[in-house]
Amino acid sequence: MSGGTQRRRHDSARSRELLLTAAGELFAERGFDRTTIRDIGERAGVDPALIARYFGSKTLLYVAALEAERGDVPPADLLDPERMREIFERADRRGPVPLAQVAVQRLSDPAAQDAARAALHTRLVDPLRDRFVREGLDRPQLRAEIMVAAVVGVMLGRHSGAFDELTRADPDALVPLLRGALTTED
C-alpha cells in the first residue's frame, strides 16, 4: 500500500515540475496572455487540469515560473540600466504580464492577486527600497513604489497603442531617458 502512495507522490512531483518547466518555456516564447492552460499541459505531457491542483491558477503558475527562473539570486534594482533594459525587452517579447497588470488593476482571483503583488514587491519594489535605505533617502518605500509605478506605466503605455514614439522607441534609447526622468543621474 505504501509503495503506491510513494509512487503517486513521485508522479505528482514530476508532473508539477513538468508543468512548471513547460509554463516557463511557453510564457517566455508567447507571453502570458497567448499561453493557454491547454498548451502548457500539452507541452508538459500531462493533464492540464493538474495546473489547478498543483498551482491554483494560470496566474499562480506564472508567479511560480518567475520564482523558479530567478532562483536564489536577488534581482538588481530598477536603477541598474541593464535591469531596466531587461524589463522592457522582456515586456516587448512577452507582452504585459500579471506583475505589471497587478500594479494597475486588481486581479479577479484573490490568491493570484496576493501572489502577483508579493512577486511585484520582491522583484521590483524591495530591491529599490533597500537601495534607498542604504543611500539614506527619506521615505524609501514610497520612493520605490513611485519609481516602480512609473516604470510599469511606461511599459504599459508602450503596449497600449496610445503613444506612437514611445511604442517605437528602442529600449537602449528609452532606458537613459526614463532613468534621467526618475533620478538626478544621467
pLDDT in tens, 120-150: 898 899 999 999 999 999 999 999 999 999 9
What residues contact 110, with CB distance under 8 A and at least 6 apart? none
pLDDT of residue 186 exceeding 50: no
Output the CA angle 9-10-11, nearest 5 degrees: 90
Residue 114 sits in the same domain as residue 166: yes
Residue 61 sits in the same domain as residue 79: no
* Residue matched to cell numbers 535605505: 133
31-74: per-residue pLDDT in tens?
777 889 999 999 999 999 999 999 988 888 988 887 787 666 77
Residue 134 sits in the same domain as residue 168: yes
Q: Report the CATH number that the domain containing residue 10 is assigned in CATH.
A: 1.10.10.60
Residue 65 sits in the same domain as residue 89: no
pTM: 0.74
Domain final residue, candidates 71, 105, 121: 71
Residue 171 sits in the same domain as residue 101: yes
10: pLDDT confidence band, cut at 50, 70 and 90? low
Between 138 and 28, the more confident residue is: 138
In percent, how much of the chain has pLDDT > 70?
A: 91
Residue 78 sits in the same domain as residue 164: yes
Residue 55 sits in the same domain as residue 99: no
Q: Cα 143 to the chain's mean position, in Å?
A: 21
Residue 80 sits in the same domain as residue 8: no
| Distance (Å, whole) CA 12 – CA 73 | 27
Residue 61 sits in the same domain as residue 87: no
Residue 65 sits in the same domain as residue 106: no
- Domain hosting 59: range is 1-71
Quick one: pLDDT at residue 90?
83
Domain final residue, candidates 71, 99, 120: 71
Domain final residue, candidates 17, 42, 71: 71
